[in-house]
Amino acid sequence: MSARPSVVILCPKEFKFTDNEATVEQPFLRDVADLSTVWLDFNAPIPDAVLAAHALILWHGPLITAEIIARMPRCRAIIRNGVGFDTVDIAAAAKAGIPVCNVPDYGTEEVADHAIALTLALYRQLFPLDAEAKQLGWKITVAAKMRRLSTQTFGIVGLGRIGTATALRAKALGFKVIFHDPYVPSGTHKAVGIERVASLDELLRRADTVSVHCPLTTETRGLIGAREIALLKPGSFLVNTARGDIVQKAPVFAALQRGHLAGAGLDVVEAEPLRTKEEAATPNLIVTCHAAFCSPEGMVEMRSTSARIARAAVLGEPVWNRVN
């Protein structure tokens, strides 16, 4: 057995991770730890190499439960390769003295850009117009759904890094921007130059477009359901680039079917991906493949940050981006 610490990158088998040599992570770790990558089916037993690791870099799955954490006596850090950490029992890890860290800033620009891209596609009706033009039509049947952005209110749920980046982009496009986030400090609205509202209900009633940017927690799971969607203005838009389980998909699809929502732009959906042809055929729906974070630059930044946190952990140095 090697006397050096071990760092394991854990990937679900369905994730097309082709860098078998971990070329991004190796330069940060090769002098201090043995680095390996383990591919695993989502519900498969956790192998001994993972349980014995001194640091674990976790992609999208599998779940790291309290039972698994109890079998990781050497672990000095679990690092989620991404923003969300809902696949890790962070309370159990904290009880075991294991920091759980994430990489909250790697995709800030990309996700904010994606949220705005979905918003503009809805406002300018890009996909219906594209389909009409390709059918050799020229009637512009969706003209009534198109609006001048400066007359519209853009509501943001969650003003963290990505929410702030999205707010600044929306403001630059001429939207009146409002937000609700009970956790950001007083005066944040002054620093960013947007309006803070006291409740989610108020935001939903006032916004012409609602863009979701809060983390998935026990508090936010199912945050936007049938009651909340009913509060939205008729003809409004909903955008979600955060986590699918924050927004209940059945009432969203029902609101699109009956026309209460004029459109939805979803990079993430509850119980993703879409499950049926009927869901996919929902009118005025744009869906992308949980891809808002994607760019080569973002991936390198994310993986480098995870590797640097793992390096600090195995060296006994302070880690950062701790969520527990």
Asked if 106 and 301 count as a contact pair (C-beta separation under 8 A), the reply is: yes
Catalytic hit among 202, 272, 279, 301: 272
Residue at 52: amino acid letter: A
Q: Is 213 a catalytic residue?
A: no
Q: Is 243 a catalytic residue?
A: yes
The residues that bridge with 247 in the sheet, in sequence order, are 224
Nearest C-alpha neighbor of 166 from the set 201, 127, 203, 118: 118
Asked if 106 and 305 count as a contact pair (C-beta separation under 8 A), the reply is: yes
Catalytic hit among 114, 180, 243, 303: 243
Between CA 147 and CA 254, with CA 284 as vertex, the angle to 5 degrees is 120
Q: Is 258 a catalytic residue?
A: no
Residue with tokens 């009146």: 176
- Tell me phi and psi for residue 182, to 5 degrees: -70, -5
The tokens describing 296, both together, are 């080569």
Count of alpha carbons within 13 angstroms of residue 194, beta-carbon side: 29
Catalytic hit among 60, 290, 308, 322: 290
Q: Using DSSP, state whether 80 is helix, strand or coil.
A: strand
Asked if 129 and 140 count as a contact pair (C-beta separation under 8 A), the reply is: yes
Cα–Cα dist 126/122, whole Å: 7
Cα–Cα dist 168/105, whole Å: 16
Give catalytic residue positions: 243, 272, 290
